[in-house]
Amino acid sequence: MTCPRLLAMFLAIIMLLIGVGCSRQDTDERLVGYIEAEYVYVASAQPGWVVSMSHSEGDFVAAGDVLFELDKGEQNALYAEAAARVAQADAQARDIATGARPAEISALEAQYQEASARFSLAKAEMDRSLPLVAEGIEAKVLGDQLIANYKAAAARVRSAEQAIEIARLAGRTATRDAADASKATADATLAQAEWHLNQRTVTAKTDGRVDFVFHRQGEYVVAGTPVVALLPPDSLKVKFFVPQSELTRLKTGNTVRVRTDGVAQDIDARVVYIADEAEFTPPVIYSAGSREKLVFLVEARLPEGTGLRPGLPVDVILQ
């Protein structure tokens, strides 16, 4: 074999070794991970029958959009009863606060006028007869009777005046306080009935995509059982495992690059969690070079709009 051919073979072997080394280094720098989602599971605070579903899987919803409704028969009845009790309590409180009605006061004023007329007559008879009694013309017993009639008529006048004053006054303080407390209780009962009624219509508390619908129209759900699972735009993260030797390169807030098939450019993800305790490499990591090594779980938050799906395997490159 000539020297030029030996030199060429030698150079080829060197280039092959360099290529293998670069490829191995690039492979070793990649950590295997997968995409995980933080779902928002929407449930009802009350049990009931699902009477309508406003969205299907794959639909995008905004915060405040109606997701589903439960039957409202019992809650409507309770709300109507509570509203009637509020109206009753309010009427009683106003009645106590305003005193007697005009017609009742007019009747009392008529009684006062009658008492005043009887008083005038009794006074006139007394004034006319007492001088005769004093002169001995009339019997003394007649004078006593006229004086008694005068005093009784005066008492009836005072009683009629006080009846009118009382009728024009509102109820006593304790009675008014009791009426106000009854109205406050009725208002609270109405508010509670309204809350229970509103809970039958379940709305989204965040923007997101409907990823799962666990119960359909016509099914009965128990309180607290998820009916819909939402995937918010910022809920994707990548979970990967870092060998102990590489852990010092990471800290919360750092950026790692995520690479996956079908995506031309790497995606930057922000590290949000680093486990405190080591664990053995999980079975999902199939790299022979990382088996039986202690690794640390790391989670990195992905930006919105990546188009990645939960469960997708990815490569993670430390920076």
| Domains in the chain: boundaries | 29-37+233-317, 41-71+199-231, 78-195
The pairing of strands 255-259 and 267-274 is antiparallel
* pLDDT for res 132: 81
**Alpha-carbon gap, residue 243 to 278, rounded angstroms:** 9
* pLDDT for res 239: 93
**Alpha-carbon gap, residue 173 to 175, rounded angstroms:** 5
Specify whether the CB–CB gap between 146 and 138 falls below 8 A. Answer: no
Q: Token pair of 309, please? A: 């799906």
* pLDDT for res 276: 87
Spans in the chain with pLDDT lower than 70: 1-29, 97-101, 166-175, 281-293
* pLDDT for res 158: 85
Q: Provide the residue count of the chain.
A: 319
Enter the DSSP assignment of 216.
-
* pLDDT for res 8: 41
Residues 6+ apart with CB under 8 A from 95: none
**Alpha-carbon gap, residue 139 to 285, rounded angstroms:** 131
Phi-psi domain of 225 (left: phi exceeds 0; alpha: psi -120 through 50; beta: other): beta
Same fold, 29-37+233-317 and 41-71+199-231: no
pLDDT tens across 37-54, in order? 999 999 999 999 999 999
Enter the DSSP assignment of 302.
P
Overall fold of domain 29-37+233-317: Elongation Factor Tu (Ef-tu); domain 3 (2.40.30)
Which of 221, 197, 213, 296 lies closest to 251, judged by CA?
Answer: 296
Opening angle at CA 44, ends 230 and 37, nearest 5: 20
Q: Token pair of 142, please? A: 């007649």
* pLDDT for res 99: 61
Q: 41-71+199-231: which CATH architecture?
A: Beta Barrel (2.40)
What is the enclosing helix (H) or strand (E) of 51? strand 48-53
What is the enclosing helix (H) or strand (E) of 188? helix 173-198
List, edge to edge, every strand of the sheet that includes 226-231. 40-43, 226-231, 208-213, 60-61
* pLDDT for res 135: 80
* pLDDT for res 4: 44
* pLDDT for res 130: 85
pLDDT tens across 78-120, in order? 999 999 989 988 887 777 766 666 777 788 788 888 888 888 9
Q: Token pair of 9, please? A: 């073979």
